[in-house]
Chains A and B, each alone.
Chain A
């Protein structure tokens, strides 16, 4: 026997090993970077078998690459999914996941408390591809149910909403979706598989911006979509997944590949056609990130919890929206879905609107002012003037924030240094208020 079949290894072990065995040809222990566009076929029959999807084979790196495949399998393994497909960015992963299952006229019910870029993407799809989209308050399960239409094919939300910190009742929304024969897709970027695995609660598709905690060091843009393999795409509501594909001589992907049908379609059609492939080098960096994901996430949530607790005690700070706080309206949901910690991205409000937000950010020295989250370095941003700038005031409110909202992504520095810097910022805002009053 060549090897022992897998037993159920622990999360930390899988974060380091899943998807990779030492390279059989060279013995290389690190994941080799296969920086190649294409692959020499053994013989014409093998080439034909690969293109007919009769054999698992490498043809062209826009569609598959051995380094990227290690990353895909590792995320799929950590998320308890049947498999995964990596993309050039989180938004590319999301667009391809939607492209694989939807046709013009289909309806999506989506949380309104999403990353601004996701809302913008969905609105573009609505306009340009003829999808119908209803954005709702994700906290209200009755609203999810009431928003269903005969043509509703997908329900969509984030594990931890951006930047309002809404924790989604994934099991509740999954039940509503499945009663209706619709799928549930979750963007779990803020939780990572270390803190929450939506598939274990009934989600069908999980997407990540790997750019964030998965990479963890702010070096690379990338994304991934994984699928549980349990949704019945042949329930009569998803013709593009279930019906014969003209691109593959009439192959019916879900019927023929079963558990793997959606994933095959996502790769062999959506990734192939849209072309937003992840580069092998980025996959390598994301794999380095995943190896330390459990260690980093434990520290991220420890620092975030300490800073949120500290902020709540400060004068001139309101609405600290960290779902892990005892005062949070999401505390019960956070205990259920995020028992190891509620992530490290949250927001709070400075009374005084845009001017106060601007002054606060200008006064910081250690927190980096930039448009990203999930870095080892602590990051800060004023959403109303940056990431959520395209949103109207009503949409800002729907997303659970205001003009004076500050979003933090708590990094891995010494927590005392981080609070000290925030204290400087708060003092500066208080001074500004005093000047205005005087």
Chain B
């Protein structure tokens, strides 16, 4: 049940699992220093599960103990995924920056829906995930979401 403007390939479980298993460095655009905000929950969780988190928030110096950058273009090392917690109209510019930064994937969180931004990233050679939460998808495919009765949709007879 994807939102209008979000093609199925941007929510494809194979693509999502591919990104989650290959990514090492994740820039989180709009990461909040407030530990009660959704972005902070996601950043905390992803760091806990071994990813290097790179906060992108011009108002902060450090978040979750990591240096915060004002924009993607200021990050001085390669990043794998750009995870976006911003209003949808900010996504096209973030997508252009993500392409310039050489990221491998653009990931837009729940309700961050921008077909234009997705198209820009895709044309720049990035994988796109949209209207999905990176924490939830990690927990669904690789984590322990099933411990709390959530419907992961996973069916497998493998050990």
Q: How many A-B residue pairs have CB under 8 A?
A: 119
**Taking the complex as formed, is B45 at the interface, i.e. its CB lies under 8 A from any CB of chain A?**
yes
**Taking the complex as formed, is A275 at the interface, i.e. its CB lies under 8 A from any CB of chain B?**
no
Whether B156 and A258, one on each chain, are in contact in the complex, defined by CB atoms closer than 8 angstroms, is no
Within 8 A of A (CB), among B39-71: 41, 44-45, 48
Whether A54 and B149, one on each chain, are in contact in the complex, defined by CB atoms closer than 8 angstroms, is no
Expressed in whole angstroms, the Cα–Cα distance for A380 and B17 within the complex equals 52
Take A21-B156, A21-B159, A55-B48 as given contacts and tell me if A256 and B147 are in contact as well, using a CB distance cutoff of 8 Å: no
CB neighbours (8 Å) of B145 from chain A are 56
Whether B158 and A22, one on each chain, are in contact in the complex, defined by CB atoms closer than 8 angstroms, is yes
CB neighbours (8 Å) of A56 from chain B are 139, 143-145, 147-148
Expressed in whole angstroms, the Cα–Cα distance for A27 and B158 within the complex equals 9
Whether B149 and A76, one on each chain, are in contact in the complex, defined by CB atoms closer than 8 angstroms, is yes
Which of A22, A23, A54, A244 has a CB less than 8 Å from the CB of B44? A54
Nearest-neighbour CB distance to chain B for A383, whole angstroms, equals: 34
Expressed in whole angstroms, the Cα–Cα distance for A21 and B136 within the complex equals 19
Whether B147 and A82, one on each chain, are in contact in the complex, defined by CB atoms closer than 8 angstroms, is no
Within 8 A of A (CB), among B136-159: 136, 139, 141-159
Whether B149 and A5, one on each chain, are in contact in the complex, defined by CB atoms closer than 8 angstroms, is no
Q: How many residues of A contact B (CB 8 A)?
A: 54
Which of A22, A68, A86, A255 has a CB less than 8 Å from the CB of B159? A22
CB neighbours (8 Å) of B153 from chain A are 5-6, 77
Nearest-neighbour CB distance to chain B for A270, whole angstroms, equals: 13
Expressed in whole angstroms, the Cα–Cα distance for A251 and B111 within the complex equals 20
Q: Which of A11-19, A135-143, A305-313 contacts B (4 or more CB under 8 A)?
A: A11-19
**Taking the complex as formed, is A128 at the interface, i.e. its CB lies under 8 A from any CB of chain B?**
no
**Taking the complex as formed, is A210 at the interface, i.e. its CB lies under 8 A from any CB of chain B?**
no
Chain B residue at minimal CB-CB distance from A16: B155
Chain A residue at minimal CB-CB distance from B37: A256
Whether A255 and B147, one on each chain, are in contact in the complex, defined by CB atoms closer than 8 angstroms, is no
**Taking the complex as formed, is A155 at the interface, i.e. its CB lies under 8 A from any CB of chain B?**
no
Chain A residue at minimal CB-CB distance from B150: A83
**Taking the complex as formed, is A24 at the interface, i.e. its CB lies under 8 A from any CB of chain B?**
yes
**Taking the complex as formed, is A81 at the interface, i.e. its CB lies under 8 A from any CB of chain B?**
yes
Nearest-neighbour CB distance to chain B for A122, whole angstroms, equals: 25
Nearest-neighbour CB distance to chain B for A33, whole angstroms, equals: 16
Within 8 A of B (CB), among A1-59: 1-6, 9, 13-14, 17-19, 21-24, 27, 49, 52-58
Expressed in whole angstroms, the Cα–Cα distance for A82 and B152 within the complex equals 8
Nearest-neighbour CB distance to chain A for B57, whole angstroms, equals: 18
Take A6-B155, A18-B155, A84-B149 as given contacts and tell me if A255 and B143 are in contact as well, using a CB distance cutoff of 8 Å: no
CB neighbours (8 Å) of B18 from chain A are 1
Take A5-B17, A56-B143, A256-B38 as given contacts and tell me if A69 and B148 are in contact as well, using a CB distance cutoff of 8 Å: yes
CB neighbours (8 Å) of B133 from chain A are 258
Pairs A-B, 9 closest by C-beta atoms: A72-B149, A5-B13, A83-B150, A76-B151, A56-B144, A6-B153, A22-B159, A17-B155, A256-B38
